[in-house]
Chain A
Amino acid sequence: MQETQQVQYNRAGQRVVSPDYLLFEAPREKQFMTGSEVVKEAVKRASVDASVSYPITPQSEAAHLIGELWVEGYVGVYFRGESEFGVMSEVAGCAMAGGRTITTTSGPGTLRAMENFPMWAGSRLPLQLVLMARGVNSPLTIQPDNLEISFLLDTGCMVWHAENAQELFEMILAGFVVAEQPDVHVPVITAIDGFFISHTREAVMLPPDDIALPPYDPYKAPMPPIDMEMAPGRFLRDPYVMKSNYISYASHTSWQFEVRSAIERSRPYAKHYLRGLIEEFGNPEAEVVLIASGTAGAQAKEAAIILSEDEGVPTRVIRLKTIRPFPGEEILQALRNAKYVFVPEFNVIGWLEREVRRVLYGKTDVPIVGSPRVAGGMTMPPEVIVKEVLKTLGKEAKHVI
Chain B
Amino acid sequence: MSYEIFKINEELKEFMPQEIVDLEEKATWGNPKRGVMDLPYAKELVEEHSLCAGCPESAAFRYILASLPNPEETIIVNSTGCTSLVFPHIALHTVHSLFGNQNAIASGIKRTLEWRFPDKVKDVVVLAGDGATVDIGLDCTLQSFFRQEKITTICFDNEVYANTGGQESGMTVKGQVFKMAPKGKQFDKVPMWQLAIDSGCHYVVRMTVSSPKKVEKVIKQAIYVAREVGPTYIHLYTPCILEIGLNADQGLWEMRQTDKERFKFFEYMTDEAKEVIKRKKEEGLI
Interface set of A (CB-CB < 8 Å, partner B): 49-50, 52, 76-77, 79, 81-83, 85-87, 89-99, 101, 115-116, 119, 123, 224, 226-232, 234-237, 239, 241-242
Contact = CB atoms under 8 A, between A and B. Distances in A.
A81 B147 CA distance: 9
A228 B97 contact: no
B84 interface: yes
B89 interface: yes
B129 to A, nearest CB: 15
Contacts of A236: 47, 88-89
Contact of A89 (B94, B98, B117): B98
B109 A226 contact: yes
Given A89-B105, A237-B19, A228 B111 contact: no
Dominant SS among interface residues on chain B? helix
A115 B98 contact: yes
Given A52-B108, A89-B108, A230-B1, 4 more contacts: A77-B111, A81-B104, A85-B139, A116-B101
A343 to B, nearest CB: 35
Interface residues of B, number: 48
B108 A92 contact: yes
A48 to B, nearest CB: 11
Contacts of A115: 98
Given A119-B97, A239-B50, A228 B6 contact: no
B116 interface: yes
23 contacts: A49-B112, A50-B112, A76-B116, A77-B114, A77-B115, A82-B143, A83-B139, A85-B101, A89-B101, A93-B107, A97-B110, A99-B115, A101-B108, A228-B1, A229-B5, A231-B5, A232-B90, A232-B93, A235-B23, A235-B47, A236-B47, A239-B50, A239-B87
A86 B48 contact: no
B92 interface: yes
Contact of A237 (B47, B98, B122, B147): B47
A198 to B, nearest CB: 25
A52 B93 CA distance: 23
B201 to A, nearest CB: 16
A239 B51 CA distance: 13
B115 A96 contact: no
B73 interface: yes
Nearest to A224: B93
A224 B95 CA distance: 12
B106 interface: yes
A93 B122 CA distance: 14
Given A94-B111, A232-B94, A227 B85 contact: no
